[in-house]
Amino acid sequence: MATVSQRNTRWPLALAAVLIVYAALTGLLISILPVKDGVRDWFAPLIRGGWMAWSFPGAMFFLTIFALLSLMAVWEYARPGGSPRVGILRFETTRGDRLFVSLLGSAFIHLAWLGLVGPNVWWALALSFVYAVGVFKLV
């Protein structure tokens, strides 16, 4: 088991490792995108004839969820305990609870955006980011 002083020196390396793996996997996904007429087809299946039609946005979604969970693990390693607090919901939440609430809310924001506005979800992504920051600050 690592001591507190060892944790304080090791967590930046773990954080860097998570970010490097995320960047490398993103680059790998971009490199295997099909090219049609000299232009990358961002929504084409990444693996032809696979059991699931993995597109770049779908793969990035799951890769981002994995990266967020990995970053939360690094954060817990650096500062154990989850920093519980009582926010505007009036019950105690930890960092993991706040991440779950922000991911769930972001899913609803995106679904509402798709239903009410249309398939251009960049503004929904920005709204979800603002919502997640608010959840981590206030909940």
Tens-digit pLDDT profile for residues 25-38: 999 999 989 888 88
Which residues does residue 86 pair with via DSSP β-bridges, in sequence order?
92
Q: Are residues 60 and 95 in the same domain?
A: no
Q: Are residues 1 and 63 in the same domain?
A: yes
Looking at the structure of the chain, the number of domains it has is: 2
CB 19 within 8 A of CB 74: no
Q: Residue 109 sits in which domain range? A: 82-139
Q: Are residues 91 and 134 in the same domain?
A: yes
Residue 63's pLDDT band (boundaries 50, 70, 90)? very high
Average of per-residue pLDDT across 109-125: 93
Tokens 């706040």 — which residue? 98
Q: Give pLDDT, residue 76.
A: 87
Q: Are residues 44 and 88 in the same domain?
A: no
Residue 135: burial class (beta carbons within 10 Å; 0-12, 13-18, 19+): buried
Closest CA to 124 of 68, 67, 57: 57
Q: Are residues 58 and 102 in the same domain?
A: no
Q: Give pLDDT, residue 12.
A: 86
d(CA 86, CA 92): 4
